[in-house]
Amino acid sequence: LWFEDVRKSDPQLADSVHVMNPFFYQLLKQQNGGYRNVQRWTAKVDIFSKKYIVVPINEDYHWYLAIIYEPEHVLRNSNLQKKTGLQNPPKCTHILTFDSLGYNRTETIISLGEYLRKEAMDKKGCLAYHKAVGRQVNVPLQDNYTDCGLYVIQFTHVFVGATEDFIRGITSIQKNKKLSKSELRERWKVHEVAERRDRLSDRITELSAAWQATEKATEKSNHLCE
């Protein structure tokens, strides 16, 4: 629902985003298949042309978020700097995790990094892979055990719509300073979570009513045809 709203309000931003199916990571992590389970999921989309790859993840009944930021940079030759004599290092792809319960997600970062490597080889024939940089983002924690899904939407909404300075403040080691609880809540606009819950509830109610009306109309039509 969030992505559909973005498509309507900002089509250009929506074109820079690819949202993975919630089952993506679960299938990627399966020992039987792994990458092969999701290899064809991007047959019609070039994820390396996107700026944001949004990966909602559910593990142990808890939702958290991973975002692959600027995936195109893994396609760069890691030896480019040495060959050209460039003093500035090449830009990096970032794999960021956002968990409103504060769990360590190092394994997720490693798994998504390996996914990018295999995807680059499979879709681009890229053997010169520039390793992505992983980081667990410092985010506010939820104050209950039910709002994790809402926090995933909120983190996505804020990050994808953020300015370049905001994102650099998260991805840069130098700028990634420790923030207080109140500063974190302000940065990620936690006050919007309750409002988002109400809007989603209203939207789901509307969709449910529309579905029920369609079902009744279909049932009535079937009876008339008998």
Mean pLDDT, all residues of the chain? 87
Q: How many helices (H) and strands (E) does the chain have?
A: 10, 5
In the chain, the N- to C-terminal Cα span, in Å, equals 37
DSSP of 133-155, one letter per residue? EEEE---PPPSSSS-HHHHHHHH
Q: Output the six-digit token pair for 191.
A: 């006050």
Average pLDDT over residues 42-63: 97
Is the pLDDT higher at 191 or at 83? 191
Minimum mean pLDDT among 71-85, 89-103, 173-187: which range?
A: 71-85
Is the pLDDT higher at 115 or at 219? 115
- CA dist 74 and 174 (Å) reads 22
Q: Output the six-digit token pair for 9.
A: 């309000």
Helix (H) or strand (E) holding 27: helix 24-28
* Residue 75 identity (one-letter amino acid): L
- CA dist 98 and 1 (Å) reads 20
DSSP structure class, residue 32: T
* Residue 98 bridge partners (DSSP): 65
- CA dist 162 and 178 (Å) reads 19
* Residue 19 bridge partners (DSSP): 54
- CA dist 160 and 203 (Å) reads 22
> Percent of the chain having pLDDT more than 90?
64
CA dihedral 165, 167, 171, 175 (to 10 degrees): 40
- 127-138 confidence digits (pLDDT tens): 778 899 999 999
Look at residues 72, 83, 70, 75 and name the one whose alpha carbon lies nearest to residue 126.
75
| Contact criterion met (CB below 8 Å) for 101 and 61 | no
Q: Output the six-digit token pair for 20.
A: 């993975």
- 111-165 confidence digits (pLDDT tens): 999 999 999 999 999 877 889 999 999 999 999 989 999 999 999 999 999 999 9
What pLDDT score was predicted for residue 147?
Answer: 93
- CA dist 65 and 102 (Å) reads 12
